[in-house]
Chains A and B, each alone.
Chain A
Amino acid sequence: MSAFNAIGEEREIDRDEYTPGVEPQPTWCPGCGDFGVLKALKQALPEAGKTPEEVLTVTGIGCSGKLNSYLDTYGFHTIHGRSLPVARAAKLANPELEVIAAGGDGDGYGIGGNHFIHSARENHDITYIVFNNEIFGLTKGQTSPTSPKGHKSKTQPSGSAKTPIRPLSQSLTAGASYVARTAAVNPNQAKEIIKEAIEHDGFAHIDFLTQCPTWNKDARQYVPYVDVQESDDYDFDVTDRAEAAEMMRETEDVLNEGTVLTGRYYVDEDRPSYTEEKRAVGELPDQPLAERYFDDDAEWERSYDLLERHT
Chain B
Amino acid sequence: MKKLCTFFIALMLPVSASADRALVDRVISNHVIPRFQTLAQTTAQLAETAAQTCDLSNGQVVSDYHAAFDAWIGVSHLRFGPTEIEDRAFALAFWPDPRSKTPKALRAMITEEDPVIQLPENYAEASIAVRGFYAMEYILFDEPTQALGHPEYQCALFQAMTQDTAALSQAILDDWQPDYAALMLAAGQNDRYQTEKEAVQELFKASLTGFQFTKDTRIGRPLGSFDNPRPKRAEARRSGRSLRNAVLATEAALDLARQLGEGDEVIQSRYDELEHYFTTATAKLESPVFAGVSDPQSRVKIEVVQQAVDRLLEFTLNGLGPYLGVAEGFNALDGD
Q: Do A and B come from one complex?
A: no
Which A residues contact B (CB, under 8 angstroms)?
Answer: none
Which B residues contact A (CB, under 8 angstroms)?
Answer: none
